[in-house]
Amino acid sequence: MTPARGLKIAQVATSDISIRFLLLDHIAALQRQGHEVTAVCAPGEWLEDIRRAGVPVATVPMARQPRPFADLHSLSALTRCFQERRFDVVHTHTPKAGLLGPLAARSAGVPRIVHTIHGLLFHDAMPSGRQLFYWLPEKLTAICAHHLLSQSREDIDVAVQRKLCRPEKIRYIGNGIDVEQFSPPTPAGRAAARAAHAIASDEFVVGSIGRLVAEKGFNELFAASEHLKYRNQKVRIIVIGPEEPGRSDAIPVHRKRDLSDRGIIQFAGHQTALQPWLACFDAFALASHREGIPRVCLEAAASGLPVVACDIRGCREVVLHEKTGLLVPVNSPAALAAAIELLLLDREAARRMGQKGVEHVRAGFDQRDVLKRLCDFYDELSRNLPEREAAR
């Protein structure tokens, strides 16, 4: 679809890894629609990948963790970037960019500010005081933004109920994957993938993918794995994901080393190609405390795996309890271990859940539908943005 007018858009995320792995397809869709899109993020190792994909990049120092003085510097740098480049739209993603970006865009006089909610910062398992603490930056972002897009339908209801915004300010964008890229492996493909990692035919392999931080539930997964390995030596737990040394809740290196040395967890590090690993797994687990729509769960389900996840917003949309997988309480290693063990002991039930998961993802989480909603939104935006503002 050709928009009424091409817009000059900044897609802003805190880190380059978010641009590279979460937003490149979105940016490409907007470019095909006739918009001029620039990625704005902190410097990092993925910048050349982004540029090779045909996306101009502007770098601004930003840190994921709260750092008041550094954040003021980032706010100033973002404001200068937006003023100099004269964007028609600033579209922010991820928590820090979602807080600083809209503030900077307001200061720079950007005509339209959009923020995508990739999972609200506060969640039900938090004490009320902490919920309020994380509600405040979400509220500030909602005030500064002209439009909010949500990956999760449930987050829309919560945002309105918790008075983050009016119903007309927020709309569903969703999250999805390339359903042709992720699909169940053939028997030969599965056998080859397992052989490549020396996995025996009688081993039950549970995979988990995510940044190695406590918020992703890895402490609970590690505790559950201790229990599972004690009860059944034929269980293998493989964890894929980058370390986050700058995070206050990063998994300590000595903890990883201990689990690896004792054969409890196999750490595979960061992997850019996930399909060969998903082909090895018998089940997938994500014990995360907070999610928008967990992309890794979509990829696992589309690959024919039953998924065990926490009963939280976002995960409840991907995992249909006892149909495509199992939902367990947050912060409960015992419940997590019991759910995985159920799949281990009832392979036929696990197989049926995997099949249903493929159908569920293909029906409701096809990336093409997400990109169409995004392009429809920008077409509407381009038609409603006055010429005099867009031509500043």
**How many Cβ atoms are within 10 Å of 195's Cβ, its own excluded?**
12
Same domain, 192 and 300: yes
* Interval 95-118 mean pLDDT: 97
Q: How confident is the model at residue 388 (pLDDT cuts 50, 70, 90)?
A: very low
Q: Which domain holds residue 101?
A: 8-176+367-390
Quote the pLDDT of residue 3. Answer: 57
Q: What is the pLDDT of residues 153-199, one digit of tens each?
A: 999 999 999 999 999 999 999 999 999 899 999 999 999 999 999 99
Q: How many domains does the chain have?
A: 2
* Interval 224-244 mean pLDDT: 93
Same domain, 244 and 323: yes
Q: Examine residue 239 and state whether it is found in any structural domain, yes or no.
A: yes
Q: What is the pLDDT of residues 199-230, one digit of tens each?
A: 999 999 999 999 999 999 999 999 999 999 98
Q: Examine residue 1 and state whether it is found in any structural domain, yes or no.
A: no
Q: How confident is the model at residue 64 (pLDDT cuts 50, 70, 90)?
A: confident
Same domain, 91 and 18: yes
Same domain, 157 and 261: no
Same domain, 305 and 321: yes
Same domain, 204 and 346: yes
Query: Residue 112 and residue 106: Cα distance in Å, rounded?
Result: 9
Q: How confident is the model at residue 298 (pLDDT cuts 50, 70, 90)?
A: very high
Same domain, 359 and 374: no
Those residues with Cβ within 8 angstroms of residue 178's Cβ, 6 or more apart along the chain or in another chain: 25, 367
Same domain, 333 and 372: no
Helix axes 24-32, 367-384, angle to 10 degrees: 50
Q: What is the DSSP letter of 19?
A: I
CATH label of the domain that carries residue 255: 3.40.50.2000
In the chain, the DSSP E strands lie at 8-12, 36-41, 57-59, 89-92, 112-117, 147-150, 170-172, 204-209, 235-240, 266-269, 283-286, 307-310, 325-328
Quote the pLDDT of residue 385. Answer: 82
Same domain, 150 and 209: no
Among 65-79, 105-119, 146-160, where is mean pLDDT lowest? Answer: 65-79
Query: Which of the listed ranges 38-52, 56-70, 241-255 does the model predict with the highest average pLDDT?
Result: 38-52
Q: Examine residue 215 and state whether it is found in any structural domain, yes or no.
A: yes
- Is residue 256 classed exposed, middle or buried when 0-12, 13-18 and 19+ CB atoms within 10 A define those classes? middle
Phi, psi of 275 (to 5 degrees): -55, -45
**Is residue 297 scored above 90 in pLDDT?**
yes
Same domain, 111 and 28: yes
Same domain, 143 and 73: yes
**Is residue 115 scored above 80 in pLDDT?**
yes
Same domain, 20 and 43: yes
**Is residue 391 scored above 90 in pLDDT?**
no
